[in-house]
Amino acid sequence: MDDFPQGIRKALFLDRDGVINEDKKYVHRIKDFVLLPGVIDAVRLARERGYAIVVITNQAGVARGYYGLADVDVLHSHLCKVFNQAGAAIDAIYFCPHHPAGKVAEFARSCFCRKPNPGMILKAARDLKIELKKSILVGDKVSDIQAGIAAGVGRTCLITTSTDEGCADDVAADANCTSLYEYVSQYCA
């Protein structure tokens, strides 16, 4: 990654389902979108501490034919509106509609953007002039942490619940927390 341009700002990269909202499997309708407690406060605090907020999310439901790109756009517009109205703006959302086992031919493939690959993070870093080594990635799956490490993000946090097993032996997050707010309030300086 030596040819990667140096960024000028730091970012808090957030997975969507399981970090920002309840993970109800293939959330794509506003009526099913339920924010997790403290998320807006966490985003507001991170912004106050100088972080750009970037959502990076796999949306395999598009490739699987459960919903379309327009559904993703509507939900993401809603998410941005809710956060903007609360004074906790999101700078950008990147999503991957691909899955190798998809049923929609256009999206049924492996790609560089689907986590655990770092494509979405690297694109955001280029687009938003983000310095990855000063940035943080928060996710709820090992694939999120793997993407952050592969992209060269400085710190990672795995959101876990009492039923989660944490990271695999060969992939370790820098922190494990039970919520985004817990991480931001304690570790995001």
Q: In angstroms, rounded to a whole number, what is the distance separating the alpha carbons of residues 61 and 186? A: 34
Q: In angstroms, rounded to a whole number, what is the distance separating the alpha carbons of residues 115 and 1? A: 18
Q: How far is CA 65 from CA 43, 57, 102, 189, in A?
A: 31, 17, 7, 41
What is the pLDDT, as a whole number, of residue 109?
95
Q: Is residue 73 part of a domain?
A: yes
Number of domains in the chain: 1
Q: Is residue 2 part of a domain?
A: no
Q: Is residue 137 part of a domain?
A: yes
Three-state secondary structure readout of the chain: CCCCCCCCEEEEEECCECCCECCCCCCCCHHHCCECCCHHHHHHHHHHCCEEEEEEEECHHHHCCCCCHHHHHHHHHHHHHHHHHCCCCCCEEEEECCCCCCCCHHHCCCCCCCCCCCHHHHHHHHHHCECHHHCEEEECCHHHHHHHHHHCCCEEEEECCCCCCCCCCCCCCCEEECCHHHHHHHHCC
What is the pLDDT, as a whole number, of residue 188?
82
The per-residue pLDDT of the chain, averaged, comes to 91
Q: Is residue 4 part of a domain?
A: no
pTM of the model: 0.92
Q: Is residue 78 part of a domain?
A: yes
Q: Is residue 21 part of a domain?
A: yes
- Its domain, for residue 69, covers 12-187
Catalytic residues: 15, 17
Q: What percent of the chain has pLDDT over 90?
A: 86
What is the pLDDT, as a whole number, of residue 42?
97
* CATH code of 112's domain: 3.40.50.1000
126-179 pLDDT, tens digit each: 999 999 999 999 999 999 999 999 999 999 999 987 545 545 545 689 999 999
Q: Is the pLDDT of residue 60 over 70?
A: yes
What is the pLDDT, as a whole number, of residue 8?
81
Q: Is residue 153 part of a domain?
A: yes
Q: Is residue 168 part of a domain?
A: yes
Q: In angstroms, rounded to a whole number, what is the distance separating the alpha carbons of residues 121 and 124? A: 5
